[in-house]
Amino acid sequence: MPENSIGRRLDVFLSLRFSTWSRSAISRAIASGEVESELRPLKASSILRPGEVLRVYIPGIAPSHAAPPLPPVLYEDEHILVLNKPPGLLTHPSGQRWEYGVIGLVREARPGIQPDLGHRLDRDTSGALVLTKTTIANRHVKDCFQTRQVSKSYLALVWGSPPWEETVAEGKIGQKPIRKLELRRSVTEDGDDARTRVNVEARIGDISLVHCRPVTGRTHQIRVHLESLGFPIVGDKIYGQPDEVFLEYMEQGATEMVRQAVGFPRQCLHARSIAMPHPVSGQILKVVAPLPEDMQRIVDGERPSWPDPGTPLPPEDSPEPEEGG
């Protein structure tokens, strides 16, 4: 329970947390038993208590499916946990619909610890994700990111075959001057300095597998830089596309126009490795995440495709920003 919510009425708290729901609708759901507390029976007027845990079963807010398993563990000790995050999973739930996120799955699988994120990955991005188990470890990891002591590499499938084997993208990154999509970034003269090293790993017809090493950590950096080079990531709904594609996806889901324009359900970006000083020993900890099946199939020659039109509507909220990706 957030500290600033203690002492509030239950119906007020939930209607503020899920702002598309009216207070009266929330009150009816509470009265029908769709909100529970581990401490006591609840009414709409119940005052929230310190340490109280709420379980929300309201259709449209609560998940409609069982919790996914904890992602594969790449490394774990008493300070650090590194997971191989699958595509489609949030690092932390947010927004108007409750969704499963990595943090919640770790809390269920590792009771007794207080996991925290060392960094974030976009919902669509797969790969190595660092979590911490203690406050000291979390402070250390975030300090390492801030002082550029962390080395990360990504693999991406891009449209096209670059005329070079390796290059360095150095375009400054800022907000696109004229845009319909607020979260979109672009290479701009007055943006923040950004630098990404890119080399070609494999060429598969009109698709290439590239290895990206971001030197800086700007929001959507790899996606922006690859677009600026003329080789947008396969499945990216924002970069390499007109703004209207992502806007239609958010409003209507995977329409025929979206599927035809994008060609694959998610951006083919994978956080392949991460290396940083360990918070206790100081030795460099390097973890490598294997390429996920959907990207591996394309590397092996399968043509990218989007499933049938039954794809459900996406969440109402924008993707999480990530460092570098």
Percent of residues, the chain, with pLDDT higher than 70 = 90
Local confidence band at 160 (pLDDT 50, 70, 90 cut-offs): very high
Please tell me the distance from the alpha carbon of residue 202 to that of residue 268, in angstroms, as a whole number.
Answer: 14
Range with lowest mean pLDDT among 59-63, 95-99, 195-199, 249-253: 95-99
Give me the pLDDT at residue 224, please. 96
* φ/ψ (deg, to 5) at 92: -145, 130
Per-residue model confidence as pLDDT tens digits over 281-305: 999 999 999 999 999 999 999 999 9
Give me the pLDDT at residue 315, please. 46
Tell me: pLDDT of 323 over 60.
no
Q: What does pTM read for this prediction?
A: 0.80
Tell me: pLDDT of 171 over 80.
yes
SS3 string of the chain?
CCHHHCCCEHHHHHHHHCCCCCHHHHHHHHHCCCEEECCCCCCCCCECCCCCCEEECCECCECCCCCCCCCCEEEECCCEEEEEECCCCECCCCCCCCCCEHHHHHHHHCCCCCCEECCCCCCCCEEEEEEECCHHHHHHHHHHHHCCCCEEEEEEEEECCCCCCEEEECCCEEECCCCCCCCCEEECCCCECCCEEEEEEEEECCEEEEEEEECCCCECHHHHHHHHHCCCECCCCCCCCCHHHHHHHHHHCCCHHHHHHHCCCCCCEEEEEEEEECCCCCCEEEEECCCCHHHHHHHCCCCCCCCCCCCCCCCCCCCCCCECC
Mean pLDDT throughout 100-125?
89
Residues labelled as active-site residues: 122
Local confidence band at 204 (pLDDT 50, 70, 90 cut-offs): very high
Local confidence band at 93 (pLDDT 50, 70, 90 cut-offs): low
Percent of residues, the chain, with pLDDT higher than 90 = 66
Local confidence band at 94 (pLDDT 50, 70, 90 cut-offs): low
Average pLDDT, the chain: 88
Mean pLDDT throughout 51-69?
79
Per-residue model confidence as pLDDT tens digits over 221-268: 999 999 999 999 999 999 999 999 998 988 888 899 999 999 999 999
Delimit the domains of the chain by residue range.
1-62, 63-299
Tell me: pLDDT of 95 over 60.
no
Please tell me the distance from the alpha carbon of residue 188 to that of residue 308, in angstroms, as a whole number.
Answer: 38
What's domain 63-299's architecture? 2-Layer Sandwich (3.30)
Q: Is the dihedral of CA 284, 143, 219, 262 positive or negative?
A: positive
Check: CATH 3.40.30.10 for 1-62? no
Tell me: pLDDT of 7 over 80.
yes
